[in-house]
Homo-oligomer: A and B are copies of this chain.
């Protein structure tokens, strides 16, 4: 791939699954990236439809008619279950691949997936492995917010062993995709709010638990998502119990993320509009009063379609291509 970067003006990239919200965002970001050239954008059932990009319109190709070999990097935003097969095909065609589905992420249980080695694509956690990977498993939106909120505590072993970690998170509706569903109609979502995946049953749980386990966190993660009447954005409200009080939790977070271009340690609780349309992760950490054990809250805001999906995929692609990690990503 280095050859491309050196020898050609732009690196050719392609997108499979471009008709969903994440795929569309990916095409927008790839198209405006100074060193990428979007050579194809493909979809299954919506092939033939027009994809509007700033400055130009694009016709979605059928996934199985796409010249995989023409792309140095293939992004797959195909649905869970359908993606891994195309990851394997793109890899066989010689491309590096970033898979936005959950197929290759850790903690997916005993689903029968192709035997593909793919590091978990959270650069703040796993940068070195990503740089040299052939395939990257791009994280889910909720796991991105949750894990980045917890990692400074996990890696320092500050959480009380066996203690609960309560994550109440809320997401905009684009997190549920753009398939036509009655419960996602404007008339159903406006002026409403509700929890779903209650009782610790959300499909992102495995990914979060596996990653926490891999970093030695011995905690009981309890994750509850909610559906917000907004288009974009995730806010995670995380409550943890620590072994002992922290002198300066914000300083600890600032230190942990000192070199990270996309992580902002805020001095007040983050709002969705601090982060929408940006690849930012905005974090606020605060001690909790009136409780008997050292308890802290961490608030994390991201754009579910950018840092939670397409932006992070571009960040990973920059690592694969040895570009500056922030190239082409909206601040």
Contact = CB atoms under 8 A, between A and B. Distances in A.
Interface string A166-190: 1010101110001111101111111
A195 to B, nearest CB: 4
Contact of A55 (B200, B224, B235, B331): B331
Contacts of A284: 198
Interface string A182-223: 101111111111111011110001000100000000001110
Given A173-B186, A198-B297, A291-B164, A191 B230 contact: yes
B186 A287 contact: no
Given A192-B273, A194-B270, A291 B168 contact: no
A156 interface: no
Contacts of A331: 54-55
A299 B233 contact: no
A1 B288 CA distance: 47
A21 B190 CA distance: 15
A185 B186 contact: yes
User: Which residue among A52, A189, A190, A200 has the maximum number of chain B CB atoms within 10 Å of its CB?
Assistant: A190
Contacts of A292: 162, 220
B178 A187 contact: yes
Nearest to A274: B52
Contacts of A180: 180-182, 184-185
A111 interface: no
In the complex, which of the residues A162, A188, A220 has the most CB atoms of chain B within 10 Å of its own CB atom? A188
Contact of A194 (B162, B235, B287): B235
Nearest to A296: B199
Contact of A182 (B164, B173, B178, B276): B178
A91 interface: no
A178 B186 CA distance: 9
Given A54-B331, A182-B178, A229 B190 contact: yes
Residue in A168, A209, A272, A273 whose Cβ sees the most chain B Cβ within 10 Å: A168
A160 to B, nearest CB: 11
Contacts of A181: 180, 185
A272 B228 CA distance: 11
Question: Quick one: which of A241, A292, A297 has the most chain B CB within 10 A?
Answer: A297
Nearest to A280: B54
Query: Which has the most chain B C-beta neighbours within 10 Å: A21, A172, A195, A209?
Result: A195
Given A166-B239, A172-B187, A193-B272, 18 more contacts: A54-B330, A162-B292, A164-B239, A164-B291, A179-B182, A180-B182, A184-B186, A185-B186, A191-B231, A193-B233, A194-B235, A195-B269, A198-B284, A201-B289, A209-B290, A220-B293, A222-B288, A229-B230
Interface of A: 21, 52, 54-55, 162, 164, 166, 168, 170, 172-174, 178-182, 184-196, 198-201, 205, 209, 220-222, 224, 226, 228-233, 235, 237, 239, 241, 269-274, 276-278, 284, 286-293, 295, 297, 299, 330-331
